[in-house]
Amino acid sequence: MKLYIFWNAIIHRIKSKHHSYNIFLADDVFVNLDSQVLYKKDLMFFLEKSVDYLVNIRINKGTGINSPFSVRGCGELVIGKYAAIGKDILVITSNHAMNFANMQVTLQNKLGFTSVHGIGEKVNIGNATWIGDRVTFLPGSSIGDGCIVGAGSIVTKQFPAFQVIAGNPARIIRPRFSEAIINQLLDIRWWDWPEAKMKQNRVFFETNLLEFCESSVHLKSLIL
């Protein structure tokens, strides 16, 4: 089943015999399709047809997604604010139940037996993150605010904020900044600012933080 988002409302729910979808798109979410930027439209989720479950997807303010972007499973997906997400992303939010002789839901339903429901596990993509092309997120995985995930990575677990992550399975390559700068950024939480405040703080957004980390001055000194 393909679910296309073609509306301007904040919340949209679709119900069918076997599905209940709860999908939240915040303001200013945008998707790139064929080099054209489209706001709040043509966002595509690939959702399973044969399983009875509730799908919860929340995409927060200012996040940009390059298509195709696929979500599979019965768990929850939350994407933070101002995330930059590449092409060919796959998010899997549940695993098959493994404690039965048969693990296929379709066969179990066809035989008229109790359905072998998948086990949903939340996937969280933090604020102000950058996800390279062809990244896969497995059930229960998460990346903290400010993380970078290298192209082709498979994210299998939880990672703290402001880390550079890559590989199969993904691992921490290095932190983006010093511990002091990371703590300051997590305290400032610029992604929660209104855009009017962002526009007032050109110096903060144009400062090279790798150079600034050598200074004893606090980042808050750059903020108006």
DSSP 169-218: TEEEEEESS-HHHHHHHHHH-GGGS-HHHHHH-HHHHHS-HHHHTTSSS-
CA-wise closest residue to 83 among 128, 136, 145, 133: 128
Between residues 93 and 26, the one the model is more confident about: 93
Q: 3-state class of 15 per DSSP?
A: strand
CB-neighbour burial class of residue 24 (10 A; exposed 0-12, middle 13-18, buried 19+): middle
The pLDDT tens digits of the residues spanning 124-133 come to: 999 999 999 9
The two three-digit tokens of residue 98, written as one number:
């493994």
**Which position has the token pair 């493994």?**
98
Q: How many Cβ atoms from other residues are within 10 Å of residue 84's Cβ?
A: 15
Q: pLDDT tens across 36-79, in order?
A: 444 444 344 433 333 334 457 788 888 888 877 788 887 888 99
Q: What pTM value is reported for the model?
A: 0.80
- Is 96 a residue of the active site? yes
Position 137 pLDDT exceeds 70: yes
Which one has a higher pLDDT value, 224 or 216?
Answer: 224
Averaged pLDDT of the chain: 79
The one catalytic residue in 12, 18, 19, 96 is 96
Q: Which domains does the chain have, with CATH numbers?
A: 2-176 (2.160.10.10), 178-224 (no CATH)
First to last CA, the chain: 48
- Within 8 A by CB and 6+ apart from 208, the residues are none
Distance CA 80, CA 102 (A): 37
Residue 165 in contact with residue 155, Cβ under 8 Å? Answer: yes
Q: Is residue 19 pLDDT above 50, yes or no?
A: no
pLDDT of residue 76: 87
pLDDT tens digits for 144-202? Answer: 999 999 999 999 999 999 999 999 999 999 999 999 999 999 999 999 999 999 999 99
